Chains A and B, each alone.
Chain A
Amino acid sequence: MHVLSVRDLRKRYVLGESAVQALDGIDLTLERGEFVAIMGPSGSGKSTFMQIAGMLDTPTSGEYLFEGADVSSLNADARAAIRSRRLGFVFQAYNLLPRTTALDNVELPMVYAGVPDAQRRQTALEKMTLVGVDRLADHHPNQMSGGQQQRVAIARALVNDPALILADEPTGALDTKTSADVMRILARLNEEQGSTIMLVTHEPDIAAYAGRIVTFRDGRIVADVRNDRRAA
């Protein structure tokens, strides 16, 4: 089954007099277990697409099937419910809660998904071990490096066993070496855990870790190629 399938997806931002066609007819299908990198120049609609795919926003028109169900016109609460159970987010700015331990940060999505306490703790520690930050459980974000924070954020994205992990420029704030560490973790999750990942980047080195590279320009897809020589 497709994890994600969009047909003629459009998004138009209207700001007073002017309007921007951020997405101008996107057709894309993502199979379970795929690792896709989205590339393209700044302003080409990559983030807009990620937000709609992540159900943080709704398209102006077009069809969006998520795990086979039409989600293009769900209300905010219904979208929140899907986000909490089926989606994982990794942000460029990590977005960990300040003055909160890594463990509590990783548990957060499970709080809203209604997972019981004990199980929350266990799952959080499991995922932290998976990305190698289990020994940082008691640390606060300001006691961690950028790479460590991003790995904690990845653990947070994993806790609800999401159907799709969305990462908008997850290495944008990291140096080259740390970026490679983070990408290796994502690639390993994809290969070993079968996680479906969609990631935005404008660095070819980063995109090289993905098995498929989709290129956006002016709100359209201009290239969609397999990457058989994945970096490792």
Chain B
Amino acid sequence: MTLRATLRLALAALVRNKARSLLTMLGIVIGVAAVIVTVAIGAGARISVQSSIDSLGSNLIVVQPGSVTTSGARSGFGGASTLTPADGMAIASLPGVASVSPVVTVRTQVVAGGNNWQTTVSGVAPTYTFVRLQSVASGRFFSQNEVASSAKVAVLGQTVVDQLFPNGGSPLGSTIIVKGAPFSVIGVMTPLGQSAMGQDQDDTVLIPYTSAMERLTGETTVNSLLVSAASSDDVDLAQQEITQLLEQRHRIVPPQGDDFQVRNLQSIAQAASQTSAVMEFLLAGVAAVSLLVGGIGIMNIMMVSVTERTREIGLRMAVGAPGRTILHQFLTESIVLATIGGFIGVAIGLAGTALVALLARWPTAVPFQWVVASVVFAALVGIFFGYAPARKAASLHPIEALRFE
């Protein structure tokens, strides 16, 4: 019997029992939909982590103060105040480094006219725009001279502009008050959107780090140094140079531990995407188990179906169907069911994914190979779990089958 004829027989039998067919494929539908949704969520998270880290620049190296031990109690990283602008300048002259910006952050209220807003004020150098791969949308960034003179100038993130200047006029030339000191607005940064951690990267005010140290923190140290390696291939090298240099400058001798920490975003990115790839596989594994359960459902209902259709099988055999053809018909039925179930599952999975993206605002991505893989897997489940019922049907004796009540 030809494949086409077998397929038509199977389809006719499935159509004849629509309700049971739907019930049989339900497990597969749910399983495949689960695979698609979990994979889409996992892959979406990975891609968004990767892309926001990419947007930070793969050359980026972050130097932070190390932990500090005060009477036996160790603070976390960043607890020590050991990094100075001078460390930054020394790092800037290393061969593997392109540029450096100190970062001094203060979380405080800023006021403009009748509006005020709690935001992060960061003291940085003009090199910041280069290191962060961020540009100025309007106005200009502050200059080296303004850093040298601790000028009271500020460049705003878009969120701060929206909050302090809700009427929509250009904030350029306006004055904002930070901790009692007036800063004149000279520029607005291009929006970056959310970071990988869900932070609003545009909720920021940038001022010269010298001004931040003098007027806001009153300290001689900085919170971190953002370093841009000369090339993305030299990130590891630059990281080593920075570590050596700072150990020298901070006079650290073994077994004393470093009072600073150097991390590069590339390795963080790799770790993050590896973690989420593992998660993705685990989730898909769980979903695959539900597919197997769906397969067992197919087997159960096909078994019942074979019993219910014993007389039909007997008749088909009596009018000339060999056992092999009966086997093929039932096997084809379960493969077709499982495959159709797979396609419906993909459709529902895609819809579910769209819903997750819409309602939970979660980034999603449906890798095409997973769509193909889950439909193929569903078909394989159909073959595997359809075999036993098909075998049972084919091994019936026509006389007994015809006599079956």
Q: Is B391 an interface residue (CB 8 A)?
A: no
Q: How far is the CB of B22 from chain A (nearest CB, A)?
A: 15
Q: A99-B16, A99-B17, A114-B1 are in contact. Are A51 and B320 (CB under 8 A)?
A: no
B399–A51 contact, CB under 8 A? yes
- Collect the chain A residues with CB atoms within 8 Å of residue B17's CB: 99
Identify A80's interface contact among B9, B12, B322, B402, CB under 8 A: B322
- Collect the chain B residues with CB atoms within 8 Å of residue A134's CB: none
- Collect the chain B residues with CB atoms within 8 Å of residue A111's CB: 5, 9
Q: A111-B9, A112-B325 are in contact. Are A81 and B320 (CB under 8 A)?
A: yes
Q: How far is the CB of A80 from chain B (nearest CB, A)?
A: 4
B311–A80 contact, CB under 8 A? no
Q: Is A76 an interface residue (CB 8 A)?
A: yes
Number of A-B contacts (CB under 8 A): 62
Most buried by B among A57, A83, A108, A112: A112
Who on chain B is nearest to A48 by CB? B399
B316–A112 contact, CB under 8 A? yes
Q: Is A59 an interface residue (CB 8 A)?
A: no
Identify A85's interface contact among B5, B320, B323, B399, CB under 8 A: B320
Q: Is A72 an interface residue (CB 8 A)?
A: no
Q: Is B88 an interface residue (CB 8 A)?
A: no
**A interface footprint on B312-327 (CB within 8 Å = 1, 0 otherwise):** 1011111111111100
Main secondary structure of the interface of A (DSSP, over half): helix
- Collect the chain A residues with CB atoms within 8 Å of residue B399's CB: 51, 56-57
A84–B319 contact, CB under 8 A? yes
Q: Is B157 an interface residue (CB 8 A)?
A: no
- Collect the chain B residues with CB atoms within 8 Å of residue A108's CB: 315-316, 319
Q: Is A60 an interface residue (CB 8 A)?
A: no
Main secondary structure of the interface of B (DSSP, over half): helix
**B interface footprint on A69-85 (CB within 8 Å = 1, 0 otherwise):** 00000001100110111
Q: Is B398 an interface residue (CB 8 A)?
A: yes
Cα–Cα distance between A100 and B316 once the two chains are bound (Å): 13
Q: How far is the CB of A205 from chain B (nearest CB, A)?
A: 26
A80–B320 contact, CB under 8 A? yes
Who on chain A is nearest to B2 by CB? A114
Which residues of A from 49 to 97 have beta carbons under 8 Å from B?
51, 54, 56-57, 76-77, 80-81, 83-85, 89, 91, 95, 97
Q: Is A151 an interface residue (CB 8 A)?
A: no
Cα–Cα distance between A77 and B312 once the two chains are bound (Å): 18
Who on chain B is nearest to A160 by CB? B320
Cα–Cα distance between A51 and B315 once the two chains are bound (Å): 13
Cα–Cα distance between A57 and B325 once the two chains are bound (Å): 19
Which residues of B from 170 to 226 have beta carbons under 8 Å from A?
none
Who on chain A is nearest to B17 by CB? A99
Cα–Cα distance between A84 and B317 once the two chains are bound (Å): 9
A56–B398 contact, CB under 8 A? yes
B320–A112 contact, CB under 8 A? yes
- Collect the chain A residues with CB atoms within 8 Å of residue B323's CB: 76-77, 80
Who on chain B is nearest to A83 by CB? B320
Who on chain B is nearest to A51 by CB? B399
- Collect the chain A residues with CB atoms within 8 Å of residue B320's CB: 80-81, 83-85, 109, 112-113
Q: Is A10 an interface residue (CB 8 A)?
A: no
- Collect the chain B residues with CB atoms within 8 Å of residue A220's CB: none
Cα–Cα distance between A195 and B319 once the two chains are bound (Å): 18
Q: How far is the CB of B49 from chain A (nearest CB, A)?
A: 54
Identify A112's interface contact among B1, B16, B398, B402, CB under 8 A: B1
- Collect the chain A residues with CB atoms within 8 Å of residue B9's CB: 111
Q: Is A156 an interface residue (CB 8 A)?
A: yes
- Collect the chain A residues with CB atoms within 8 Å of residue B311's CB: 95
3 closest pairs, A vs B, by CB? Answer: A84-B320, A109-B319, A112-B320
Chain B residues near A (Cβ < 8 Å) = 1, 5, 9, 12, 16-17, 311-312, 314-325, 398-399, 402
19 A–B contact pairs at CB < 8 A? Answer: A54-B318, A76-B323, A77-B322, A77-B324, A80-B320, A80-B323, A81-B320, A83-B319, A83-B320, A85-B320, A95-B402, A97-B312, A99-B16, A99-B17, A100-B16, A104-B12, A112-B316, A112-B319, A112-B321
Chain A residues near B (Cβ < 8 Å) = 51, 54, 56-57, 76-77, 80-81, 83-85, 89, 91, 95, 97-100, 104, 108-109, 111-114, 156
